[in-house]
Structure 1
Amino acid sequence: MSPLAATLAMTLGVTLVIMLVLWILATLRRDVSLVDIYWGLGFPVVAWLALFRNGSAPRPLVMAIFVTVWGVRLAAYLLWRKWGEGEDRRYTAMRDHHGPKFWWVSLFTVFLLQGVILWWVAFPFQVAAVHAGPKAMTWSDITGAALWLVGFLFEAIGDTQMARFQSDAANKGQVMDRGLWRYTRHPNYFGEFLMAWGYYLLSLAAGGGWTFLSPLIMTALLLKVSGVSLLESTITARRPGYADYQRRTNAFLPWPPRNPASP
């Protein structure tokens, strides 16, 4: 077995075992939201496992540090936001739909599926850990690091601005349209998009060009599956002013707000 195949097999096995343990805990607690908190932590786990197995070369070490900073911050933020709130409404709806079968269905459609997606999206880290690439920085390294930094700031600042907005009782039921949220309805998702492509660029010098499906999958998730589309499918009913916000503010790419009266 090649070093890359062995690394991929190891990280997949560890990821699925962790997801199985999380599923057991979630079933006992009746709270599938645990999987969301682990999403951010799962990438550092894969990155450091691949790094330790193949040696700590500079490029994969930098990538592991970057993804750890992102993952720990995201997990801590989601844990703080979830504390005392109970299960996320998405999973409660799934639980109501599947009834007594939910505990079994959730193993495959939530935990194991997310584990496989996480492992696949983390290919750039694993390829870079195995092949390392040149020690000198390349244009793709510099561009990738810059994209990661801008993306991280978008997500972290956007989350902080939203947390402050929601902590004010006077804003209950209102639409957040200040700060970064004035220019994009989802600065946090846009930030994750930039970081995903930043990791890909960082992997190029280590032979990661073929892993382009990893950031593409993340982009599809953010836009069409668990990100923008899913969140906005119900938010208009919960926040009457959101339709007007949609008309004047880009969903994803930051841009100055439009005149609501314009087409």
Structure 2
Amino acid sequence: MTAFPWGAFGVSLVYSAIAPLTITLLTFLVALAKGVHRIVDVAWGLGFTAIALVTFAASDGHGDGTRRLLATVLTAVWALRLAVHIGVRRCGHGEDARYERLLARAPGNRHLYALRVLYLPQAALIWLVSLPVQAAQYATGPLGPAAAAGAALWLLGLTFEAVGDSQLARFRADPRNRGRIMDQGLWRWTRHPNYFGDACVWWGLFLLSCVTWPSALVSLISPLVMTYVLTQGRGKAVLERHMADRPAYAAYAARTSGFLPRRPPRTPLLNRRTG
């Protein structure tokens, strides 16, 4: 096994920083034209796809070819599914309530404030979280047990996220469920199957990059940061504060795991109306 190519990897880090920044700035221009900043969420998935493609091209001649292709495909499949899902869900709606509250605190120009506190930090976070994908492109050595475990964990995560999103979309589309708490399907096992799935995807990609100690150490920050963001940052914590004023949510939270899936109780939750 040859040494990790730090020089080539360092150059690739620059390319991979430019990719999500370009996607983010283009998204910002579209948001200005449309007058809403909710589409910044679509750029999240597109940014990861751009990094996967750019680093795959930049790493030509380095790393294991199968691992490079696998890392690129797994990242792009996850990221594009998420971008399409968010785009379809937000299509035709006004500004996201979260961003309305945020922009209401803008000390000056709302759009420049959004660029500074939404778009640019998101581009930086995409670059940081994508480190396993970038490292996997340069990791030498054939695929082994860690890569197989990573691919399996990625598949588990994608399944949880995609199925959870689909179940929630069908639930919300039924007018009879207006004001009710989603407590069916995977949502009986965890209050956040989509966030749990996200975490599994990135721990899986981390395992895919774990060939040498350098690549493992470079990649480890990614799943740690992503798990923190999902559980304590913009994910679970923010959503649960928003849901806390719904009477039925307290009962749902008391009997359903907050993150890791757990066998649901035998007695179904009485799904009461919340307004």
Instruction: Using structure 2 for the length normalisation, give the TM-score.
Output: 0.89
**How far apart in 2 are the matches of 1:165 and 1:17?**
36
| Deviations, residues 105-132 of structure 1 (Å, cap 9, x unaligned) | 2112111100001001101111111x23
CA distance in 2, matches of 1:142, 1:14: 28
Q: CA deviation at 1:195?
A: 0.6
Q: Is the 8 Å Cα contact of residues 43 and 71 (structure 1) preserved in structure 2?
A: yes
Partner residue, 2:18: 13
Q: Does 1:194 align with 2:217?
A: no
CA distance in 2, matches of 1:217, 1:125: 15
Superposition deviation, residue 99 in structure 1: 6.0
| Runs of 5+ unmatched residues, structure 2 | 1-5, 270-275
- 1:165–1:171: 8 Å Cα contact kept in structure 2? yes
- 2:165 maps to a residue whose letter is D
Given the alignment, which residue of 127, 136, 151 partners 1:145? 151
RMSD across aligned positions (CA): 1.6
Structure 1 residue 96 displacement after superposition: 1.6
Aligned residues: 257
CA distance in structure 2 between the partners assigned to 1:15 and 1:40 by the alignment: 10
- Contact 1:197–1:215 under 8 Å retained in 2: yes
- Residue in structure 2 matching 1:243, options 228, 247, 250: 250
Tell me how far apart the structure 2 counterparts of residues 186 and 147 of structure 1 sit (CA, whole Å).
17
- How many percent of aligned residue pairs carry the same amino acid? 37
Task: For 2:103, give the aligned amino acid.
Answer: R
**Contact 1:193–1:219 (8 Å) recurs in 2:** yes
Corresponding position of 1:158: 164
Deviations 1:140-187 (A, max 9, x none): 101101100111100011011111111100001100101000010000
232, 236, 255: which one pairs with 1:228? 236
Report the CA distance between 1:25 and its aligned residue: 2.2
**Residue 50 of structure 2 is aligned to residue 45 of structure 1:** yes
Counterpart residue identity of residue 178, structure 2: K
The CA deviation at 1:225 is 0.7
Look up the match of 2:90.
82
Residue of structure 2 equivalent to 1:168: 174
Verify the 8 A CA contact 1:148 1:195 in the aligned structure 2. yes
* Structure with greater proportional helix content: 1
Conservation of the 8 A alpha-carbon contact between 2:230 and 2:236: yes
